[in-house]
Amino acid sequence: MGAKRMTEGAPWKHILFFALPLIAGHFLQQLYNTVDGIVVGQFVSSEALGAVGVCTTLCLAFLCLAIGMSNGCAVVFSQFFGAKRIEDLRKAVATGIIILVAMGLFLTGVGYLIGDFMLKSVLAVPDNYLADSQMYFRIYISGMAFQFLFNVCSAILRSLGDSKATLYFLIVSSVSNVALDLLFVCSFKWGVMGAAVATVISHILSAVVAVIYMFKKYEMLRFQRGEFKFYPHIAKIELKMAIPTTLQQFVVSLGSIALQRLVSTFELTTPGLLPGYTAGQRIEQFMNIPAFSMQATMSVYTGQNVGAGKYERIKTGRASARIIGIGIQLVIGIVAFVLRHPLIRLFGVTGAAEEIGVEFLTTMIPMVFLFVLSMSTLGTLIGAGDTVFASFNSISMFVFRCAMAYLLAFTTPLGYRMIWLNLPLGWIYSIIMTEVRYAKGKWKEKAVVKHDMAVHNAQQQEEQPAE
């Protein structure tokens, strides 16, 4: 059937072979995001690259809500699957999809209402970047529902142990985005607008492919007429898990906006900072792939084993995830460090802007292994259902990062360099927080599947009127 239970066999094998497709998928996702920057920087201008870069921060603020909701729902999916409660899983899938798509449609409207204000007043985008940023965001936000649909489908499939599926979807999305970027920007000369249109179309294609794949491959997810509906008792459980992770992602995105405003502030006195930082940030996103992949892997691995009541496997799995993640991180880091100058120049960035981008990478690359350590434990806590603490950890870490960035940027000679020097400070903070929480063992009390009787009683009450 394709679904894989991670509750039997060697933990390291499950983690490695689950993580590898995720890493490849994340790589493709970052690749097609990066292609926007490369094409715009090379074929339009460095100013256009800066416009897309600053706008991307706002786009990610909306996307983070999709990621937070889907990650929270994935805790429910994986624990039901690990506990072999397939009917509850089916209801959770239907309810989760309905919630996520409705939220995506709602946020499209919100984006149209507040987008210009956020770019001009909150992000303080310089005038020479503003018009292109506004146009890019208006087009991008129109496809938000498809991004929510794609994220929840990916979360469902990951929860079933199918990490290869997301890779397939992202291959479709990446190839289409690259081809459309070249067509719209290079051939049609649509500039920033072309990059935005290409991105939206690729998101629609990946969402459609994800839905078709999910319903065709997994018989358990094929719904008959009247079965695909909203189940309030399941929604309560999903929202209990999803609201903290969504709040976490939202605050993280606000932190990114605050840091982006810091970039805009220093751009006035440090010409080239915005395109240089944008190019460096795109490379940084590749560097973060092992950490995010290990978080997603440990969330599913832990969720399934918590659902099956096999807590003894989680400690071994977490140790394996750290070793695997750091090993992969080391390989990526060496390549990126050696090639940091040509990588920055890929974006059409030269001169002072190039030096800023290279300085960013030179500082950040040797420290990224800290992020792997933090995220592997964070994924363990999330998979166990300890989403409130996980969210508190991420929120407080970003508050700490932003506070350090603003305080030290304006009071020490470090200046604009605190825009990236705050990263390792935040990672160290998160490691301390998550290690203490894991050691105390409170996360073992947070399992969704502990609420068996409440769930089944609510099911019977809901289903009786329908009969």
In a domain, 452, yes or no: no
In a domain, 460, yes or no: no
440 to each of 294, 394, 426, 444, how far by Cα in Å? 22, 18, 22, 10
216 to each of 210, 219, 220, how far by Cα in Å? 10, 7, 10
In a domain, 297, yes or no: yes
Residue 254: count of CB within 10 angstroms of its CB: 17
In a domain, 3, yes or no: no
With b meaning 16 or more CB within 10 Å and e meaning fewer, what string describes 198-234?
bbbbbbbbbbebbbebbeebbeebeeeeeebeebebb
State the Cα–Cα distance between residues 277 and 265, nearest whole angstrom: 13
Task: Give the pLDDT of residue 212.
Answer: 94
Q: Nearest CA to 360 among 412, 407, 417, 425?
A: 417
Is 363 buried (19+), middle (13-18) or exposed (0-12) by CB count in 10 A?
A: middle
Domain count, the chain: 1
Tokens of 401: 């990062």
Contacts of 105 (CB under 8 A, 6+ apart): 144, 145
Scan for tokens 């997994």, then name that residue: 218
In a domain, 5, yes or no: no
Task: Give the pLDDT of residue 2.
Answer: 59
In a domain, 160, yes or no: yes
Q: Return the amino acid letter for 341.
A: H
Q: Nearest CA to 433 among 406, 400, 404, 403?
A: 400
Task: Give the pLDDT of residue 415.
Answer: 93
Q: Long-range contacts made by residues 98-102, C-beta under 8 angstroms, separation at least 24?
A: 98/229, 98/230, 99/69, 99/73, 99/230, 99/235, 99/238, 99/239, 99/242, 100/66, 100/69, 100/70, 100/73, 100/148, 100/149, 100/151, 100/152, 101/145, 101/148, 101/149, 101/152
State the Cα–Cα distance between residues 442 and 434, nearest whole angstrom: 11
The three-state secondary structure class of 45 is coil
Q: pLDDT tens-digit profile of 250-273?
A: 777 777 778 888 888 888 788 889
The C-alpha torsion from 397 through 400 and 403 to 409, rounded to 10°, is -90
Q: pLDDT tens-digit profile of 335-382?
A: 999 999 999 998 888 899 999 999 999 999 999 999 999 999 999 999
Its domain, for residue 399, covers 11-445
Task: Give the pLDDT of residue 451.
Answer: 44
In a domain, 82, yes or no: yes
In a domain, 458, yes or no: no
State the Cα–Cα distance between residues 11 and 16, nearest whole angstrom: 9
Report residues of the chain scoring pLDDT below 70.
Answer: 1-2, 32, 450-467
State the Cα–Cα distance between residues 279 and 353, nearest whole angstrom: 9
State the Cα–Cα distance between residues 402 and 258, nearest whole angstrom: 7
State the Cα–Cα distance between residues 426 and 313, nearest whole angstrom: 29
